[in-house]
Amino acid sequence: MPDECRRRRPPAGADPLAHPVRAHRGRGGLPLEQHLKYVRTAEGGGAAGKGAKEYAVLAVFVHPGEADDSLDRLLHSARRGEDPWDVPGVELDALLPSCTESYRYLGSSTTCPYTTGVRWTVLTHPVQASAAALEHYRSLFPGGNAREVQPLGDRRIAGDRHRWW
């Protein structure tokens, strides 16, 4: 575990859904980045080895605008704590923009223990949530809940072909 994680553990429940934008630099001025996480246990043969956890994260920027029933419900339900909670009536596809152009890279998690080997997909188009829902979420984590953007190093970023018309 990195020394930073031993010194400063993130608050319990700090990584269930979203971060005040710090995880990625993009879309300057957007207040929130939601993360939809997928975890699977490797069944063998892969680089990770049998039984190892593999992670993928879909990142979506959020900006204030019209309320979105599902996203607003999710943001308003957020709390600090260790126990998971149910949020009925959330449609996962409603958390995504209609345009799914993206950038992809291999990176790490944004909270301790900064797990490496995370497959990131960052969507280029944001979604909207009400200002009240965004403020509620940010009030839970006034100092943020993600580490600073890391140097690119020798990682490669792949992107969709963008068409402008």
- pLDDT at residue 151, rounded to an integer: 86
Give the pLDDT score at 25. 55
Q: Which one-letter amino acid corresponds to residue 112?
A: C
SS3 assignment for 108-143: ECCCCCCCEEEEEEEECCCEEECHHHHHHHHHHCCC
Q: What is the pLDDT of residues 21-54, one digit of tens each?
A: 455 655 455 778 888 889 888 776 556 667 788 8
Residue with tokens 């710090």: 22
Query: For 30, left (φ over 0), alpha (ψ -120 to 50), or beta?
Result: beta
Whole-structure pTM value: 0.77
Q: What is the pLDDT of residues 100-153, one digit of tens each?
A: 899 999 999 887 888 899 999 999 999 999 999 999 988 988 877 777 888 888
Parallel, antiparallel, or unpaired for β 32-41 and 18-20?
A: antiparallel
